[in-house]
Structure 1
Amino acid sequence: MSLSHLGKALVPCVVYLLVSAANLQAEDWPQWRGPSRDGLSRETGLLQEWPADGPPQVWVSKNCGIGYSGPAVVGDWIYLLGSREGTEKLLALDAKTGEERWFADIGDEYENDWGNGPRGTPTVHEGQVYAMGGQGTLICADAKTGKIAWRKSMQELGGKTPTWGYSESPLIHGDHVIVTPGGKQGAIVAINRTNGDLVWQSKELTSGAHYASVMATERNGKSELVQLLVDKGVGVDAATGQLLWKTPWPGRVAVIPTPIIKDDYVYFSSGYGVGSKLVSIDDQYNVEVVYDNKVMKNHHGSVVLVRDHLYGHSDKVGWVCQEFSSGKAAWREREALGKGSVTYADGRLYCITKDEGIAALVEPSPEGWKEHGRFTLAPLSELRKKKGRIWTQPVVSNGRMYLRDQDLLYSFDVSTQGADLVRN
């Protein structure tokens, strides 16, 4: 072939590569459930089908300590919590290699028959990392060095450690860190993120701490914080902590899933037979119940809203696709995959089962379960307690999927390029 002909033949290939590169978009995962705390990644350029044995494994870090904390990913840094030798720690790892960069002690290890150690995901913001241990100690540390700037216990704010440990992931809102100590002094608090001083405490709310994490929204030009407590869903003024609205919630045993917000609607779900509820909030903070049913009884694997439908696992029902506006079930799938957690990225649901550690790639479609590959996580942790399970939710960031089983953190390349994504 002549050089001129070769050049002409290569033109379509070059164009394809340029278009593919232009379609790539990487995104950090700096906190619980991703950039917007909704379990959705805006990342593109990811595999739409997995090979028979799953996506390529990049590395396994084997000394993350025990616990259920998920990773926060910012650039080449990973932050997560784990307990080693009886002390809970904030860990920083190299995202390219899995090697540990530093650790900072949080406090004594939380102990429970279902698994010791911390539960929440760290939050990374403007060079600082905010993290809460299972005993309720909140710390702020330098993201590059691990040096602790301040610490605050939920007990000094009137809180009491819930049955399965403090599991909340801190929310950064403006200059404040928002967490839920629970208790008679006020269930929700705002803490100065620079020095750890208390800014306000929502004294109108006295419910004990459970396990959901706070969300933020805007209404009437005012910042609002939304939380699901054991007995009510609430919205409070982000500037003062004043109660703006509330709706009853019959929480049982453990209220865990994070609320989902879309426009003027707030969606709640929890397990132990409770179900799901959608409410609308008007400009005067009046609450209207759109539906209240048992279609989605999500225990702790979270629910994601993709376009007009919700996806998640419902206790004793299986995986469910629920229409957001009506609450009706589009479909239920009991046999395809066991109970587990879900995250969304680039047109696919990333699921992992709590018992076997089966990871599955599923197309979110109201027409039914459409699977595009699966594999079984291996090796599994030998440190997990008998009652413990794989409860850490999948994270997808910068072309990698991260899965955790206690002391083991796995990194898989799920990009179509088989390399680091190009940041747009």
Structure 2
Amino acid sequence: MLKRLTLMAAALSASTATLAEPTYVVADRLLEVETGQYIAKPVIAVEDGKIVSVSTGSAPAEAEVIDLTGHTILPGLIDMHVHLDGRPEYGGYSGLQFTDRFWTFLAAANAEKMLKAGFTTVRNLGDDDYNVAGLDQAIGEGWLVGPRIVNANYALGATGGHCDSTFLPPSFNQKSPAVGDSPDELKKRVREQRKYGAEVIKACATGGVFSRNTAPGIQQLSLEELTAIAEEAHFWGLKAAAHAHGADGIKAAIRAGFDTIEHASFIDDEGIRLAKERGTFLSMDIFNTEYTLSEGAKNGVLEENLAKERLVSKAQRDNFSKAHKAGVRMVFGSDAGVMPHEDVGGQFAIMVQLGMSPLQAIQAATLNAAEALGQQGQVGTLKPGAWADLIAVTGDPLADVGELADVDAVVKGGVLVE
């Protein structure tokens, strides 16, 4: 009898849960990013943080409503390349003045800034001390406010390469825990990062701008090493992202099977052809140049690094236009941390200046990004079954994509972000 009563109570509880009233989001219009069409007077019903229906008209009387009247709504934005535990104000050696845990708290502040800027999902491609893994857990448990995070932990690389520690002398004996110098070593590094929570694997195929003694265009991991990383990541069900500025490193990473190429500054015609043939996404951070060159020296960035930024920036923008025109798939990636996290929405205008339509720029930060994450139908869309993540702007983002640099409201999981 007791067992029967327990089962009846459980059934009653489940029935009550299913009868819980949904929350409704209403606005003047909804941008359907799949088609570029507007839906007037949208009514989005949300239960348990996800969209259950999208209709038009009015929300039911007495319903709980998030009223965004006077606004256009569209899916929450996705930034595919951020560094949450960094800030551009601390360049060069200036960051050494702080204790290690300073960066953990900084990551929490940056996460909130990105969410309030409209980025409800971000991909964190490299941090120190597993700062962002802990941040992600704290957000998930409700202790902190921030976006959904797809986190890489430490980025893999070669000893002495861009993803190693390159600023301190030998007496410090400092090196990244994720470097390796053979396919087998790098396969082990993939497993270690996954063990500690990595949801995507990042590897540095070439040198970079903000390291010492590395040239952005020079390949630093062999095709065999890159292949081992990509295959091991995919074996564990993870995506793989390759930091690659130089043409040879870009092509090697594409051939190795990486899902996204980060920066892609010096991509050549063959690299563009390979990316298009293989469906590889390019994530090109084309907005941070002005900030770095105007504020970098004041922030402590070394002249060596500023010179590399000058070398890279124009080529990267030219090749963004060229790759887009050729039909390569693109995603939105800002490299936030190199520039202020709260300002990255300004990149949309640069994407349009370089040849994209406003809708294509928006799709790069919604549909394309969701596909590159392997989260189609979950984020980057306002269809039933997706997370109820959305933003609201006053104007028409298809007429002025600059609207996305200053969003008016953000909803994550059906909850208005205060």
Same fold (TM > 0.5): no
TM-score (normalised: structure 1): 0.31
Q: Which has the higher contact order (CA 8 A, sep 6+)?
A: 2
